[in-house]
Chains A and B, each alone.
Chain A
Amino acid sequence: MNWFYFSSPSTFYRFAGRLAPWFFALAALLTAAGLYMGLVVAPTDAQQGEVYRVIFIHVPAAWMSMFLYFVMACYAGLSLTFNTRLSAMMARAIAPTGAMFTFMALWTGAFWGRPTWGTYWAWDARMVSELVLFFLYVGFIALANAFEDPRRGDRAASLLALIGVVNLPIIYFSVQWWNTLHQGSSVKFTGSTMHIAMLQGMLLMAFASWMYAIGATLTRVRSVILERERRTRWVREL
């Protein structure tokens, strides 16, 4: 498959337009299934009661916040290495969705924290690095839009995204390195220490978030393409 075919903004514009609705539909279905699992099927937790159910939003949001940053950083790397316009536009399209998930993770985390640990916010390693991640997203968006020349904004923001990647392992491993509030991860590859229905619910919601993120990014990149390519013939013909 000729990948460079898709790297032309006009082709990708149409391609993204056709695919986005499918991803949104999939996201809606998976969300329904996931919420059903999480709110109806999964049992009440022995220690935390009903409050724990917020993890069905909190954990997928946190996973997506990190995953989307990683994807954004990959596009940033591609845009700096190959100087392609579309990679930079994809990175710009991902950033707001990533910021949203990070904010959701922080916000739902606060709600969970209050009844569970008695505080909305604690300065533990994972929370702080997640907060730093939020500012990295916001910084990326701000920097990308801070220049007259949008290409210059692309390049500066892409470099920032790459520098900030070092935060991802810090978020992930912080709970192992420091003994703080966040529990050690209970979802491992070899098995899991939580009830199967809780795990299924979380995974369904994680996939739902992923599909939503793809749909949102594809939709957003279309507006970015339109704005950046507004002087070209194919846009004027639309």
Chain B
Amino acid sequence: MSTLEIRSLACSRGDTRLFRDVSFAVAAGEWVGVRGANGSGKTTLLRCVAGLTRPDSGSVTWDGKSTSESGAQFRSAMLYAGHAAGIKDELSAAENLRDALALREAPPSDEALRESLGAVGLGRIRHIPARRLSAGQRRRIGMARLVLDPATLWILDEPLTALDSEGEAMFASLLERHLQRGGSALVATHHAIGARQAREVRLSA
């Protein structure tokens, strides 16, 4: 079972130093919350861990190996969901989902697509262009992706945004199931999520 280890991570945006000397670990079966006020650097921290943003200093290790060296391996095991959902307006929910999973080298069968979209409540509208879906419905496409994606580590930035209480409950049970199967998650959020949090990383502005 792989562990994510962060050591002395520091990052700045432009002239401002956002955070310094952040260290924590996320072991299999647990999820770690990243909390802090707006602008405290939660998104930047997640992006540094995922490998999108280059940190000023510090290291990110997955399974004992630095993520900058074992790039492709880390990226197959990790799933990142940021503020922008990566959903194309012109394509339908089903097509968006199929593309997203094919990109992650886990192309789903039509059966699996139908089931997962049905499970998140998008069953009957899965063929209409995403442009016509509400923000909450687009979030649910993201949840369907969490169901189907084989990633063991989830890095999620405010996953409950735009979700109604039914959606929040759905997400909580998805997270529980993921953790039970040995997965881990790093989640930046303002909310309390159903599943019990292992530890908290608090960033001060």
Contact = CB atoms under 8 A, between A and B. Distances in A.
Interface string B66-92: 000000000000000000000000000
A148 B15 contact: no
A184 interface: no
Nearest to B13: A149
In terms of DSSP, what is the predominant structure of the interface of chain A?
loop
Contacts of B54: 83
A231 B12 CA distance: 14
Chain A interface category by residue count: under 10
Contacts of A148: 14
Contacts of B15: 150, 228, 231
A182 interface: no
Contacts of A150: 14-15
A98 to B, nearest CB: 26
Interface string B48-75: 0000001000000000000000000000
Contacts of A83: 54
B15 to A, nearest CB: 6
Interface string B7-25: 0000001110000000000
Contacts, number: 9
A83 B15 CA distance: 15
Interface string A208-238: 0000000000000000000010010000000
Contacts of B14: 148-151
Contacts of B13: 149
A228 B15 CA distance: 8
Interface residues of B, number: 4
A11 to B, nearest CB: 20
A228 B14 CA distance: 10
A154 B14 CA distance: 11
Interface in A54-93: 83
A225 to B, nearest CB: 13
A150 B12 CA distance: 12
Contacts of A149: 13-14
Interface string A131-159: 00000000000000000111100000000
Contacts of A231: 15
B17 to A, nearest CB: 10
Interface in B1-41: 13-15
A151 B16 CA distance: 12
A228 B54 CA distance: 20
Nearest to B14: A149
Nearest to A148: B14
A49 B36 CA distance: 76
A102 B13 CA distance: 35
A231 B14 CA distance: 12
A84 B75 CA distance: 28
A40 to B, nearest CB: 53
Nearest to A147: B14
A83 B57 CA distance: 12
A151 B56 CA distance: 12
A150 B54 CA distance: 15
A151 B13 CA distance: 9
Interface string A98-124: 000000000000000000000000000
A171 B7 CA distance: 49
A72 to B, nearest CB: 23
B110 to A, nearest CB: 42
**Which of the listed residues A149, A228, A231 has the most CB atoms from chain B within 10 Å of its own CB?**
A149
A151 to B, nearest CB: 7
A155 B13 CA distance: 14
9 contacts: A83-B54, A148-B14, A149-B13, A149-B14, A150-B14, A150-B15, A151-B14, A228-B15, A231-B15
Interface of B: 13-15, 54
Task: List 9 tightest A-B contacts by C-beta distance, closest first.
Answer: A149-B14, A231-B15, A151-B14, A149-B13, A150-B14, A148-B14, A150-B15, A83-B54, A228-B15
Given A83-B54, A148-B14, A228-B15, 6 more contacts: A149-B13, A149-B14, A150-B14, A150-B15, A151-B14, A231-B15
